[in-house]
Amino acid sequence: MIIPTIPGFRHILKGIWWPLLLMFIWDVLITLLYFAQPERYQEFQSSALSRTTLTLFGTVIVLFLGFRSNSAYARWWEGRVLWGLMINASRNITRLALSCIDSADARARELREAMVVNQAAYVHILRCQLRGTDRSEPAYRLLPPERAERVLAYTNAANALLNENGRLAGQALAHGYIDTIQQSRMEAVNVDIANSQGGMERIKKTPLPMQYRFFPQLFVRLFCILLPIGIAPYLGIFTPIGSSLVALMFLAALHIGDELVDPFANNAHDLPLEAMCTTIEIDLMESIDRPAPPATQPVKGVLW
């Protein structure tokens, strides 16, 4: 996620510089063609592509892009809300484990610390599953080797850890460390965590409909191709500059929408999952007096 209010120019150009360069070359060719035969060019332009046609076409494209960007941002914001719920639920399950399993017995201490560490590992493994990165690093870093191997054997390792915490709560009940009401409260928090994970997986595995992705891409590129043809008689030698600036705005809006569609990817515009998971890990590790990692810092204006 980009932190500064005004993003750097490289963030704007990343992903669109190549089509923008092609558009600029096309603009230059159209401008040279106009100056080579201005009379025939104006005759063709006035009969085939008027300013009214370009204006109407551009208006329709703006409506397409606005609707698409709103849909993409809604997915991005829903992902952020779900991760906010995950942060709160992680703190809640930790508080319940520490306050309910309050026996000084060594077995009780082992159970509550295992629940807390499991939750810290859970959010990191869930982050890796959503981003498609290696999930073994946080598993072996936070969990005992035998537990990490057992969890990673599952296709959905995050869900396996959530089930593990449910079993630990059952063991605490069987040993008499908690009562049924306390176990039910822990299970309710685990249900909230599972619901948040399910919502994230729904966003991740359900792309925007094909029409939302294909038609804006097609119309924006077609408009950028037609634009210099229509404005060359009015801008003259400045046609490549004016047309490229308009293309930059349309392509940037298109590219940002593409990146917001998947809020859990690993791009500059996506959610800072690593920072949020590290925040959870810090809170949980400090609650059981274990070393906590430093907070994640922005890298060149981007929080990952």
Give the chain's mean pLDDT.
87
Residue in 148, 131, 147 with CA at minimum distance from that of residue 139: 148
* Beta pairing partners, 92: none
Task: Output DSSP code: residue 208.
Answer: P
Quickly state the pLDDT bin for 11 (edges 50, 70, 90).
low
**Contact criterion met (CB below 8 Å) for 142 and 284:** no
Q: Which residue type sits at 205?
A: K
Residue 33 and residue 262: Cα distance in Å, rounded? 42
Q: What's the DSSP call for residue 175? A: T
State pLDDT tens for residues 234-261. 888 888 998 888 888 888 888 888 888 8
Quickly count: other Cβ atoms within 10 Å of residue 166's Cβ: 17
Question: What pLDDT score does 51 carry?
Answer: 66
Lowest mean pLDDT among 47-56, 117-126, 154-163: 47-56
**CA distance linking residue 18 with residue 237, whole number of Å:** 23
Residue type present at position 303: L
Quote the pLDDT of residue 216.
83
Q: How far apart are CA 34 and CA 250, in angstroms?
A: 24
- Could you give the count of Cα atoms lying within 13 Å of 116 in the half-sphere of its Cβ? 26
Share of the chain above pLDDT 90, in %: 47
134-148, 160-174, 219-233, range with the lowest pLDDT: 219-233
How far from 22 is each of 54, 61, 121, 220, 244, CA to CA, in Å?
A: 20, 20, 46, 14, 10
- CA pseudo-torsion sign 92, 94, 95, 101: positive
Q: CB under 8 Å to 107, separation ≥6 — which residues?
A: 175
pLDDT of 303:
81
* Band of pLDDT at residue 44, cut at 50, 70 and 90: low
Q: How many residues does the chain have?
A: 304
> What's residue 299's pLDDT?
79
- State the amino acid at position 304 in one-letter form: W
Looking at the predicted structure, is the pLDDT value of residue 79 above 80?
A: yes
Residue 39: per-residue pLDDT:
73
Of the chain, the percentage scoring pLDDT greater than 70 comes to 91
Q: Which residue has the tokens 């190549």?
A: 18
141, two tokens? 């870093």
Query: What pLDDT does 49 receive?
Result: 64
